[in-house]
Amino acid sequence: MTAGKWDVVIGLEVHAQLTTRTKMFCGCPTTFGAPPNTQTCPVCQGMPGTLPVVNRRAIEYGVRTALAFDCRVNHACRFARKHYYYPDMPKNFQISQYEEPLAEEGWLEIDRPDGHARRIGIQRLHLEEDVGKLVHEGTLETAQASLVDFNRAGVPLMETVSKPEIRSPEEAAAYLRAFRAVLVYLGVCDGNMEEGSLRCDANVSLKPAGAARLGTKVEIKNMNSFRNVQRALEFEVKRQTEALDRGERIVQETRLWDADRGYTRSMRSKEFAHDYRYFPEPDLVPLKLDAAWIDEIRRVLPELPRARRQRFVAAYGLPAYDAALLTQSRALAEYYEAAVRDFPQPKLVSNWVMSELLRELPGDDERAIEQATVTPSRLAGLLRLIDDGTISGKIAKTVFETMVRTGEEAAAIVRREGLTQVADAGALAAMVASAIAGNPKAVEDYRKGKTAAAKAFVGQVMKASGGKANPAMVSKLVEAELEKLTKT
């Protein structure tokens, strides 16, 4: 994006909590939402004399992700200590990776608004431990005391740093969506931004259009949803554009996004930035990754969102839009494929999944889809009833709503509530005749060439039948009856 005479340059740092059962360096569980400090031990509380031991599963998840992004996995990597004082960090240093990260040099493909795909480079991917949480009594400014909850301290975090190759806030949002989809497909992160399992910081700078040298970058933090990432970046691009247009200099700093007020505000200037005093973690030996192990992880990589999307177009003949939407979440794609297996009309299934299913679910995350009361086979059952003419498409929508509420099969609801279509030609003919007889003016309109009047009669009959009349038959009967009247 060019903001007038400026090129926008954005780099994203995404922190993803890995869904390992235990923490990065101890055996504590990682479950979200447990009572404060119940999922802790001397190690993750940073008690004197305790030592970290690497969770091999977290390494595996990191490698899996690195391979999905086509990164170079470093066969030898190392943990390092990153120092700063903050009470949510038990040791006052974080075990992270610095000079020797797990993986480097990969890429992620995103879709641009113009429909073209673009590769965004990934600079590095490394593992570290999460910090705890501070709970303030009252607001941060007025609190008399703060409490620390170390449940989250030590949960495995994967940091992935993109290259500064993102050119607009829309692209940033697209990157994040594509990134999340990959992680969720890989089963390494639940992708929940609201619960903080996916967190994103951005570096934003502007440079004169076409210039090679990057401008001064500003770091934006605290964007806790996809929408906020885009809003915050749009605000920041505008802020920097206006400043540069006024001839001001951009200050290298960290700014916090305030979602309520819709602006970013300065948090700390980089001139007073922390010196993290990184050095190799002496309590851990350098990690040696066996090539055979990496190959094995590569071998069992699942189909990734992009490949699946292409397959959906090729195999099911779906429009690109449908394929993109259905493959954004692994659970949704799997739902769709299961339903199509039971009811092989891909486009009809796609329509129902995209409109009805997603509207009725409490969320579009993996959990909501996996726990949907309308299972793929039940949705297929419903679609079969439309297909064989038992119910109309309109009635089917009502049936679907009932299915969501009660978890019943469509056929049972249709039977209980008497929703079968009226397809008895005799009964319908009587209803059509009475509708036409009751509205001579519409008949007159029809005679004068207003064919829309026919639709009104169909609507009337459908209404009179409580939606149960077979609309195609009603339409045919109305037309035949009106034809007769006009000829006489």
Partner 1 sequence: MRTIHELTDAYRRGETTPSEATDAYLSRIAKLDDKVGAYLTVTADRAHAAARAADERYRRGRPLGPLDGAPITLKDVFCTRGVRTTCASKILESFVPPYDATVVDRLAKAGAVMLGKSNMDEFAMGSSTEHSALRVTRNPWDLTRVPGGSSGGPAAAVAAGLAAGGLGTDTGGSIRQPAAFCGVVGLKPTYGRVSRYGLVAFASSLDHPGPFGLDVTDTARLLGAIAGHDPMDATSIDAPVPDYTAGLEQGVRGLRLGVPDEYFTKGMDAEVEAAVRVAIDVLKGLGATLERVSLPATPHALATYYVIAPAEASSNLARYDGVKYGLRVPGRDLIDMESKTRAAGFGAEVKRRIMLGTYVLSAGYYDAYYGQAQKVRTLVRRDFDAAFARVDLIVAPTTPNVAFRHGEKADPIAMYLNDVFTIPADMSGVPGVSVPCGFTASGLPIGLQLIGRALDEATVLRAARAYERATDWHTRRPELA
Q: Considering the complex, state which of residue 51 and residue 211 has its C-beta at the smaller distance from Zn ion.
A: 51
On whether the CB atoms of residues 43 and 284 are closer than 8 A, the answer is no
**Does position 46 bind partner 1 by CB under 8 A?**
yes
Q: Considering the complex, state which of residue 52 and residue 62 has its C-beta at the smaller distance from partner 1.
A: 52
Q: What are phi and psi of 45, to 5 degrees?
A: -90, 0
For partner 1 (CB under 8 A), the number of binding residues is 29
Closest CA to 126 of 149, 92, 94, 87: 94
What string marks each residue from 61 to 90 as x (binds partner 1 by CB under 8 A) or -? --------------------x-x-x-x--x
Q: Which stretch, 44-52, 192-200, 244-252, 290-298, contacts partner 1 (CB under 8 A)?
A: 44-52
Residue 221: CA count within 13 A, CB half-sphere: 8
Binding partner of residue 28 among Zn ion, partner 1, none, CB cut-off 5 to 8 Å per kind? Zn ion
For Zn ion (CB under 5 A), the number of binding residues is 5
What string marks each residue from 111 to 150 as x (binds Zn ion by CB under 5 A) or -? ----------------------------------------
Within 144-173, the residues that bind partner 1 by CB under 8 A are 146, 148
Phi-psi region of 140 (alpha: psi -120 to 50; beta: other; left: phi over 0): alpha
Residues 110 and 100: their CA atoms lie apart, in Å, by 28
On whether the CB atoms of residues 264 and 220 are closer than 8 A, the answer is yes
Binding partner of residue 388 among Zn ion, partner 1, none, CB cut-off 5 to 8 Å per kind? none
Within 257-316, the residues that bind partner 1 by CB under 8 A are 275, 277-279, 282-285
Q: Which stretch, 46-54, 204-212, 314-322, 402-410, contacts partner 1 (CB under 8 A)?
A: 46-54
What string marks each residue from 35 to 74 as x (binds Zn ion by CB under 5 A) or -? ------x-xx------------------------------
Residue of 3, 10, 28, 89 that binds Zn ion (CB under 5 A): 28
CB of 47 to partner 1, least distance (A): 7
Binding partner of residue 44 among Zn ion, partner 1, none, CB cut-off 5 to 8 Å per kind? Zn ion
Residue of 20, 45, 160, 228 that binds partner 1 (CB under 8 A): 45
AA identity, residue 56: R
Residues 175 and 170: their CA atoms lie apart, in Å, by 9
CB of 62 to partner 1, least distance (A): 17
**Does position 26 bind Zn ion by CB under 5 A?**
yes
CB of 295 to Zn ion, least distance (A): 32
Residues 231 and 260: their CA atoms lie apart, in Å, by 11
Closest CA to 38 of 140, 144, 138, 132: 132
Q: Considering the complex, state which of residue 51 and residue 480 has its C-beta at the smaller distance from Zn ion.
A: 51
Binding site for partner 1 (CB under 8 A): 42, 45-54, 81, 83, 85, 87, 90-93, 146, 148, 275, 277-279, 282-285
